[in-house]
Structure 1
Amino acid sequence: MPVMDVRRETEESPTLAEGELVMPMFPLGSHVYLPDTEHVLNIFEPRYRSMYNEILFNGSRRFVVPMCAPNEPGKFASVAAVFYLDDLKEVSEQTNDQVKFVCSHTVIERVRVVRSLNDRVWGDRSSFLKVVTEKFEDCDLDDDFTNKETALEERFRALIDMQEKVDEPIRFTKDVELAAPISAKRGKMGFWRLVNLWQSLLQSRVTHRENELQAGIQKMLRKFLEDSGVDLSDGRQLQLSFESIPDDIRAEIQRMNEQYGEERVELLNSAIYPFQYLVQMDSHAERLDYFGELVSEEEKRLAAKNTLRAMFESTE
């Protein structure tokens, strides 16, 4: 989609081509929402309270959620998820009106956003965005890809075993198959479930790396305090100003943050763009091939890790 232009004239009565439909749009950050997934939202902004009232009143119960381009405010992906409102709870009394609704949704389909109708409200937040959409469906719905699907399923199972073998700190567990059989077929609990599992894995790696960084910094500061004669045995919390820390420790903390900053960008990108790429593909066969490439990259990474591990074990 073009970047939001708050100077654009609002289309009050848009002309629609055959198959086009006007829907509300609710940007929810750079997360990519996948088909057949479920999500709960807490609604507090007046404009989105109004949006929910509208979709309940007109009976549509749905709205568009695009991926927001990271670091590019007002730019959204043109192929987006459609949230369907399954359940809404009014909680304003319990939350002193801090939250109006707690809403449960299912992503029921994908649409292509043709154009936005009221960019102006993106600037003043006076209301919610409305967009013209068209259905976005696969071009190979009638084709059979059993061989491709079976091959991907087998590789996914083998990958779970490989992650366990190298003792990956963040990995899939055997419970993945207990919840539902590994399937790359179309439909619920099929291909998109595998993609959702993969997305969760990568997001967990980002969190794990952040925790590692904080633990490393805390360990360094704890040693500095203990070496300075501070008794930390009572478990009390101490606050340190950055200026009170010795230059060598400050330099090391800065180095760690800079190194992590570079890693974080790479980790975050890997948890965003491949999934948007999958969402905007209109071919199940292409998605199977592309997801296979992602699995291949993980296989190579794990194989290299296993080789290094074997080398170190042989020298002991």
Structure 2
Amino acid sequence: MSIFEPRYRALYNDILFSGSRRFAVCTVDPKTGSFSRYAAVLYLKELKEVSEQTGDAVKFVCDHEVIGRVRIDRVLNPSSWMKADTYLKVEAEEIEEPEEDEEENRKREEALAGDFQRLVDLQHEMEESVKFTKGSVGNFKTGPGEEIWSTVRMWQNFGEQKLLSIQANLQQDFQKKLIRYLQDEKGQGKIPEVINISDLPPELQSEVKGLQQRMADDIAPIQEEYQRGMQLMMQSDSHARRLALLSGLIKTEMGLLDVKKQIKNMFG
């Protein structure tokens, strides 16, 4: 994680000064802007100051681990979210993990590891542009505590990369047309860094609007589904429940690839 916003620089300065080295992070609903009542507690494992190397563009590069969860009762300074003048301060209650059947959970963890292995094999067989590495199978740990949360973070990164790939594919055709217009019509050998939509011809302006709508239609539902999965993971009240949720995410991904494989086999 790279820290560059002034309010988060202040957060890290404060947790280092106090010695607590921990803080809570929750999700924000992209539609309503409301905060989740549940948040992960992150512990600062390692911090490196890089302000000199980055010209003060980035202050810290940090490594964290998830050590627990809290239920947020009240945000003490909600107006600071929009003003971005400082980080949010909350009153929160630590959530205790219940006792569970360790043997049953171990069986679930083994089954989940097998499903993940099959997913990775299928991703490589289908030559997916966004996929887990073969080596990630050995790093797939789902024990209680930090193990499953590190895997949740790995899955979250996968989801983010997949969304970026979909976005890039949607933009690809338009970018080709735009470059051709700038080079052929405008006679510009070098592509400008900034282009005003109003400077484009009507047909390209129409394509920009169509692209924006397609991205909203295609990407937003997928993004919401990933966020929903992560949020359910956060507010689940047991390790067994988190294993079930992660299993559902993996099986959904495998189902999509199975359909893709069937279509590929049908048409060669």
TM range (shorter): 0.7 to 0.9
Match of 1:236 in 2: 190
Classify 1:224/1:100 alpha carbon distance in 2 versus 1 (closer, same or farther; 3 Å).
closer
User: In the alignment, residue 116 of structure 1 is paired with which amino acid?
Assistant: V
Match of 2:235 in 1: 280
- TM (normalized to structure 2)? 0.82
Q: Distance in 1 between matches of 2:13 and 2:207?
A: 53
Q: Distance in 2 between matches of 1:254 and 1:127?
A: 36
After TM superposition, list the pairs within 5 Å mapping 1:1-316 onto structure 2: 40-45=1-6, 47-73=7-33, 75-89=34-48, 101-119=60-78, 121-122=80-81, 127-141=86-100, 143-144=102-103, 145-177=105-137, 180-188=138-146, 190-224=147-181, 236-237=190-191, 242=197, 245=200, 247-313=202-268
Give the SS at the match of 2:27: coil
What is the number of residues matched between the two proteins? 266
Q: What do residues 110-151 of structure 1 show as CA deviations (whole Å, max 9, x unaligned)?
A: 111122334455566555432222221322345331221111
Quote the RMSD (CA, aligned, Å).
3.1
Match of 1:12 in 2: none
Q: What do residues 264-290 of structure 1 show as CA deviations (whole Å, max 9, x unaligned)?
A: 202221332211110111111111112
Q: State which structure, 1 or 2, has the greater radius of gyration over its C-alpha atoms.
A: 1
Maintained 8 Å contact 2:45/2:63:
yes
User: In the alignment, residue 233 of structure 2 is paired with which amino acid?
Assistant: L
Maintained 8 Å contact 1:43/1:102:
no
Gaps (5+ residues) in structure 1?
A: 1-39
Offset at residue 83 of structure 1 (A): 2.5
**Highest RCO, 1 vs 2 (Cα 8 Å, sep ≥ 6):** 1
User: In the alignment, residue 165 of structure 1 is paired with which amino acid?
Assistant: E
Maintained 8 Å contact 2:15/2:22:
yes
Q: Which has the higher helix share?
A: 2
Maintained 8 Å contact 1:78/1:113:
yes
Percent of aligned pairs with the same residue? 34
Q: Distance in 2 between matches of 1:146 and 1:203?
A: 29
User: In the alignment, residue 280 of structure 1 is paired with which amino acid?
Assistant: Q
Q: What do residues 84-134 of structure 1 show as CA deviations (whole Å, max 9, x unaligned)?
A: 233445566666666555554333221111223344555665554322222
Give the SS at the match of 1:113: strand
Q: Distance in 1 between matches of 2:16 and 2:136?
A: 36
- TM (normalized to structure 1)? 0.71
Offset at residue 207 of structure 1 (A): 0.9
